[in-house]
A and B are shown apart, each in its own frame.
Chain A
Amino acid sequence: MKLELNVNGKVHSVDINPGEMLLDVLRRLGYKSVRRSCDNASCGNCTVLVDGKPILSCTTFAARAAGHKIETVESLAEEGNLHPIQESLLETGGAQCGFCIPGFTLTTKALLEENPEPTEEEIREALNGNLCRCTGYESQIRAILNLVKKRGGLSDD
């Protein structure tokens, strides 16, 4: 079937099989930041934003995303400037192998848009579904806390 997908503001006209998942279609379109790790909705690596909300693209039919705004990490760093979340991750060493980072970054972006001054507990809860095997999570949590603090957020412990 033919489909129009709006990815990062660009409209793609694609031919898909009706059963195809969004993850497969996005990777086929060249959005390689969308990562396949578990392929059964248990690791968060394939997270993309659909109308600003994080969803797992490995178990979302591509057809369901038609008519919605899809966002991947490719949209974040514009004209050479990193997104503050990305900058903060580099400072705290939050990206080791980097494989989980796109999913992590998008979930964080959605969290901060909904709740600009989250507590550490709220951060941990929001990112509970984004697995990482390298960092032990602490440097990633520090990245978000630093960012919140920089923006004048509370997070006083």
Chain B
Amino acid sequence: MTDTLNTKELKRFAAVNRSVKKVDGVALVTGQPVYTDDFDVPGALHVKLVRSPHAHAIIKEIDVSRALKIPGVVTILTYKDLPRIPFTRAGQGYPEPSPYDTFVLDRKVRYVGDPVAIVAAETEKAARLGAKAVKVEYEVLDAVLDFEQATNEDAPIIHDEPEAIGIHDASKNIAAHFEMEIGNIDEALESCDKVITRTYHTKTQLHAMMEPHASISYFDPNGRLTVITSTQVPFHARRILSRIFNIPIGDIRVIKPRIGGGFGGKQAVHLEPYVVAVTLKTKRPARLVFDRSEVSMSTNIRHEMKYTVTVGATSDGKIKVIDMKGLSNTGAYGEHALTTFMVSGSKTLPIYNKVEAVRFSGDVVYTNLPSAGAYRGYGAPQGLFALDCTIDELAHELGLDPLVVKEKNSIREGESSPIFRIMGEGREGVDQIVRSCKLQECIDKGKEAIGWSEKRGKVARRGNKVRGIGCAIAMQGSGIAKIDMGAATIKMNEDGSFNLLLGATDLGTGSDTIMAQIAAEVLEVDYDKIKVYSSDTDMTPFDTGAYASSTTYVSGNAVRKAAEMVKERILEKAAVYLEEPVENLRVKNAKVVSLNTDREVTYEELCTKLFYTFEQEQIAATASYVGEESPPPFLASFAEVEVDLETGKIELVKFVSYADCGTPLNPVQALGQLEGATVQGIGWALFEDVIYGKDGRMLTNDFFTYKIPTRMDYGKLECGFVDSYEPTGPFGAKSIAEIGIDTPIPAIANAIYDATGVRLRKAPFNSEELFFEILKKEV
């Protein structure tokens, strides 16, 4: 299976590498009630949270008496009513690398929006009125609102609770710290002809998925706790709920219905504990749906990061040293603090694997701002902005084509990087060779599409408007090697269909569909004969969940293994049934056929006989898969921008991204992932700007103030794939969901420089700032 296959063999695929329609597509386009909030549970209490108006405060007193008198209010819970068990909301492999620094409710609040009380009522209106009537008296504390001041001597300590576990240095507000060095930085710098040091700052971003987070909990007729929830991590949610409320894992069932987008924003337990607390207290069903401002302020946002990068090279552009020193802002709680920080190095530094010395270090700090967490790209875009643009600057200073410098120093097929071994996620990584890398093909296609050779370095000016182009190259991973595990169960039905039960979590990504395609490819049936049921902790086998670009590679390999086991069993039974040696038999078009005789049996006939009259047995198999490696997809992106020199207004004229994701198992769905991630990255680069008030309140918590791209806001978009085959992937596949968001910021920054000669080192890029920089240059 590890032999390199050429792309000609792709043509032999019957079910994968085809753009079949999504298995849940009809339900989605006809508007069926498939999301959490669409489930009507009779008698459910409506839950509302009372939230802190202060960024940092201690609750002196909570008076719920007036609220309890409001007709319809059933119960109100405060920190006094809940178990004081520290946990992390982050949905990660256990034990989690994130600090246990959170309680369902605490006496201390750490950002504007931190929950203070849970109100449950017969109607939504009563719950809302009840929440308003809860009286809270606070002792307001000084707050840390600038992450660069979090470690100051006089900064207030945000996490002084003695129960917290795993905080790197709570007294200095440092949630996590990481450092590593390979080779000798100082010696290598000595031998360079050119060394530059630059600082790049990437602000936060909101997930802004269309479906607001929602959870419903109830006891089923047998007294088992059931939670229907919009989550990317049902099995982690079950484990975390079990810990918080001391309920055996087996007594909790978590169901993920269809999800209206996640992007990392649902990779944590955001509202499950609140509804469960109400159900436990009242024995009644409870439902909670966040409103848009809660989705924005009180779930997770992206980690804001600032990197100072030193790059040294020879005069002909051979990069010899990279040193990245970073600071990351995790906000009020440390979800994904260490791991997003490590990924900003581990998914960028291996691109430039020919260096003699490389160092990566820094802190992740707490602030009294909304809590950062997982978000598509998971640190890689912030790291890449700093690294790619510093290399771009270096190339310009050496008088070289930045694309040539990036190309010449980048990793190639068959090569490795020591980073793979040293930097994992929260711990050591895994040594690996890059078995598939068609980065050069991505560069060549993109270069052609943007017109790199003709346009680069030439000022195209029309009136007040100038145009410029820029490039960036990126990598990601495919799951977390030796940590992420996915499992699948396949069982055969007597009409020749199969149930595919899997833990993997389809958030709208189309993973249920490609999992069906993988099973269909192995079993030689149409993909609609594979009946997928996913993400229900009672009914499906385990899966760590949908994150880290893992599903296609990790869960996909599990499905392939399970299908192969089922196929083997079908052949064994058919051999007895047809009275032929098993080595003469093959599966073909939903039948078992003999290569030697004309004997054959359909799946339908075989399974019916197996159920009722012949060697009675249910053919089924469960397989698990843990990635031994995490094969990186690669990407080359190019931006063309137009800047109005009189106003600084930036228009994106064209954006091109070509990716190597191995075999795209469903090309239309894969393209949708790349296009979607690219436009999310373009929005972040140009106008998705989170702004806080002086009191730390997020002011941009709706779509009027936080502007995500519409159909009119980006220029021409060209996305595509190059031929590639990852030998360890299911039918040659690697990941595609995250990588597209890595490049828009650096590619656009580099294009703005090409157009104007101005380097913008803080993203998102703002026209006013560019305008003043242009003025400064002209003076």
Contacts and interface: CB of A to CB of B under 8 A. Distances in A.
A76 interface: yes
Contacts of B22: 90, 93, 95
Would you list the 10 A-B pairs with minimal beta carbon distance, nearest first? A33-B31, A97-B508, A98-B28, A136-B679, A99-B260, A136-B675, A42-B703, A32-B33, A73-B31, A86-B29
A40 B717 contact: no
B327 interface: no
A4 interface: no
B21 A91 contact: yes
B668 interface: yes
Interface residues of A, number: 49
B26 A90 contact: yes
Interface stretch (B205-213, B449-457, B470-478, B576-584): B205-213
Contacts of B597: none
A135 interface: yes
Contact of A133 (B209, B259, B672): B209
Interface in B7-28: 19, 21-22, 24-28
B37 interface: yes
A36 interface: yes
Contacts of A96: 261, 508-510, 672, 676
A133 B292 contact: no
Contact of B712 (A36, A77, A124): A124
Residue among B24, B38, B211, B509 facing the most chain A CB atoms (10 A cut-off): B211
Interface of B: 19, 21-22, 24-35, 37-38, 207-212, 258-261, 263, 289, 291-292, 507-510, 668-669, 671-672, 675-680, 702-704, 708-712, 717, 719
Interface in A75-124: 76-77, 82, 86, 89-93, 95-102, 105, 123-124
28 contacts: A32-B31, A35-B35, A36-B212, A36-B289, A37-B212, A37-B292, A40-B704, A43-B703, A76-B30, A82-B30, A86-B29, A91-B668, A93-B510, A97-B258, A98-B27, A98-B34, A98-B260, A99-B35, A99-B508, A101-B28, A105-B29, A123-B711, A124-B711, A129-B710, A131-B708, A133-B261, A134-B261, A136-B678
A50 interface: no
Given A99-B210, A133-B263, 15 more contacts: A33-B31, A37-B210, A96-B261, A97-B211, A97-B508, A98-B34, A99-B261, A100-B210, A105-B29, A128-B710, A136-B672, A136-B678, A137-B679, A139-B672, A141-B711
Contact of B508 (A40, A86, A134): A134
Contacts of B508: 96-99, 134
Contacts of A100: 210
B672 A135 contact: yes
A57 interface: no
A3 interface: no
A61 to B, nearest CB: 16
A45 B210 CA distance: 8
A138 interface: yes
